[in-house]
Copies of this chain bind each other. A is one copy, B any other.
Amino acid sequence: MAELVNSGHTIHFETELQPLKTFLEDAKYSKIFVFADINTSAHCLPVFQAMLDDFSTFDVIETDPGEENKNIDFCIGIWKTLLDFEADRKALMINLGGGVITDMGGFVASTYKRGIDFINIPTTLLAQVDASVGGKTGIDIDNIKNMIGTFSLPQAVFIESAFLKTVPERELLSGFAEMIKHGLIIDKDYYEALKTSDYKNISPELVYQSVAIKNKVVTEDPLEKGLRKILNFGHTIGHAVESNSLSKDKKPLTHGEAIAIGMICEGWLSHKNSNLTRAELEDLTAFIKVTYPQYTIKSKDFKGIQELLKSDKKNEHGQILFSLLESIGQCEYNCKVSDQDVIESLNYYNSVYDI
């Protein structure tokens, strides 16, 4: 399959890591570290090793899985481990895992001795189509997502469907939301193709197209000064609903489930405040409704969700700015929306399941 080149680093698809061998041979790193969590260490490390064919020696740095461990305490632990292993500036870190691993591993690598090289091997659908591309690294602080981080590009990204085989279904569904988003904001044909696909068995070709869309956007605007903001479609309300769910629900929403909700709400806002037609709104609503489980946003939580919106990282000068669809396949950014409309969009989401 093709590869994508993005300001000097390459995203490789379905290569069974063969280019990684050449890369490691040429680059002559002083030490190689594989960073994984206990799940990817169990499920992905054997696949990785088989592909590399015992080609190279490396040390594994293992961490606990999940967003709750994507924090500065774990980073300190990893920095100290690198010190203990006497990692110098010519060391390489290979991040083998989901978005938590690629985000946190990227942050640790980009700050250790002011930056060592790293490679991302995303092992969830979400990390493949979203987290591993675009150079954002980050960790949470006080449970606020990605408050600390850098913009740092990996040396290369390797995307292999082989790793997806062990990913739990609910995690696949989570990543699928970002693919739908990519279609909605940029590519109507891609969106239509997703409608007839099966998220439990996503084809490498669809993954490739999703990465290509994200890569195109971030290459045009690496530091999120403008265009890149369209990637936030569904994420403004989605993030607030996600945080609210994390703090209140026994079984909280995944990121993708929350973004699916956010896309319905912001679809409604797009119809109200931008040019999305009623028919288009109904189309995306129906697709998301058959794909994602029902959820109710409690009206007593509306106020809290509005508070969360106000503290969104992407706000500027205290103003909440939305990315809204002008049509399916076209998105504009920096749109202002009234508080009242936000509430109505939440009501719209709830009403969808009444019918």
Show the binding face of A for B, using Cβ within 8 Å.
30, 72, 76, 79-80, 83, 86, 88-90, 107, 110-115, 136-138, 141-142, 144, 146-151, 311, 313-318
Contact = CB atoms under 8 A, between A and B. Distances in A.
Contact of A150 (B72, B111, B315): B111
Contacts of A151: 114-115
A148 B144 CA distance: 22
A315 B88 contact: yes
A97 to B, nearest CB: 20
Number of copies: 2
B317 A141 contact: no
Contacts of A141: 76, 79-80, 83
Residue among A30, A115, A147 with the highest chain B CB neighbour number at 10 A: A147
Given A72-B72, A79-B141, A114 B150 contact: yes
Given A141-B79, A141-B80, A316-B89, A150 B115 contact: yes
A286 to B, nearest CB: 36
B142 A30 contact: no
A316 B29 CA distance: 10
B86 A311 contact: yes
B316 A88 contact: yes
Given A89-B316, A315-B88, A110 B150 contact: yes
